[in-house]
Amino acid sequence: MGNTDKFERIAGTYDTPERIHIAKVSSDAIREHLADAKSKNAIDFGCGTGLVGMNLLNDFHSMLFLDASPNMMNQIQQKISDSNLSNAHTLCFDFEKSELTDLRADYIFMAQVLLHIEDYEFILSRLFDVLHEGGHLLIVDFNKNEHIVSDLVHNGFHQEELIGKMTKMGYGNIQSKTFYAGDNLFMGQDATMFILDAQK
């Protein structure tokens, strides 16, 4: 996935107090959109070191932590091992390069992942195929921020534009809202974050 080389380098020092805080805020926002999830399986897509998924592990029957960075995978595997977790699994895989035909989930969530994916529409359509009928894709990311100019990431997203694109892919019952604002949140700029819930 996007910027894998960068994440390979920072995996060992990724869990800073700031990232842990944002992961908590993000997982709390995701939790508000879960329904009867105790019997459902989830994918933490682009999981990094699993900060968001670990917060939500007890909300689901099982969880797959998926990322394209082997070093990030090593970090989450260590956490799973240290906590002796039986309902957590890992998969190092790049959705942009390969296709998994047998992967299915009731919930997929991605927190601050979409901005790293150049062809994000392609990935969103792939994730639609992974969802069970009635399943949910939950996206946490930054609102569009014109102060940010980068070759590495999208400078956020317009919620209505994203909803329009996802509707054309077949997603329905789409809701989104801004839920958090912070100083120096996005590449040194003040920024706001949204959560989007879309159903197959």
Tens digits of residue pLDDT in 143-170 = 999 888 888 889 999 999 999 999 999 9
Tens digits of residue pLDDT in 94-153 = 877 777 668 999 999 999 999 999 999 999 999 999 999 999 999 999 999 988 888 888
Domains of the chain: 4-199 (3.40.50.150)
User: What global pTM score does this model have?
Assistant: 0.92
Look at residues 192, 186, 113 and name the one whose alpha carbon lies nearest to residue 158.
192
Residues in Cβ contact with 50 at an 8 Å cutoff, skipping those fewer than 6 apart: 44, 65, 75, 76, 79, 80
Is the distance from CB of 59 to CB of 52 less than 8 angstroms?
no
* Residue 167: Cβ within 10 Å count: 12
